[in-house]
């Protein structure tokens, strides 16, 4: 029997709730942790064209790409060679 996750249910009911949580989390990151804005949007544009992107999530790492792409120390987990 699958027990539904209360948090997921909340997010399914209101996508804006998820966005608010993510934006709140992004605001907690220090400037040192974050990549510059141009590089961030470049990373996201590459994700937008990638077949691994599904509803904002990368199928290889399970991350929300808007979170992963902003972190300077992280890169793309594409198995045949990182895309950023």
**Does position 53 bind ligand SF4 by CB under 6 A?**
yes
Taking CB under 6 A as the criterion, the residue among 18, 26, 46, 66 binding ligand SF4 is 46
**Cβ distance to ligand SF4 smaller for residue 13 or 55:** 55
Do 44 and 38 contact (CB within 8 A), yes or no? no
List strand residue ranges (DSSP E) for the chain, in order. 53-54, 57-58
Nearest-approach distance from CB 52 to ligand SF4, in angstroms:
4
Helix axes 15-28, 6-13, angle to 10 degrees: 110
Span from 5-13, 14-22, 32-40, 53-61 in contact with ligand SF4 (CB under 6 A): 53-61
Q: Which residue has the tokens 């994700």?
A: 47
d(CA 60, CA 3): 25
Q: By the criterion CB under 6 A, which residues form the site for ligand SF4?
A: 46-47, 50, 52-53, 58, 60, 65, 76-78, 83
């Amino acid at each position: 029997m699958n027990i539904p996750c209360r948090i997921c249910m909340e997010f399914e009911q209101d996508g804006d709730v998820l966005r608010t949580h993510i934006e709140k989390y992004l605001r907690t990151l220090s400037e040192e942790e974050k990549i510059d804005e141009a590089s961030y949007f470049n990373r996201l544009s590459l994700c937008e064209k990638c077949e691994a992107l599904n509803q904002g999530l990368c199928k290889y790492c399970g991350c929300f790409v808007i979170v992963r792409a902003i972190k300077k120390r992280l890169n793309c987990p594409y198995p045949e060679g990182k895309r950023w």
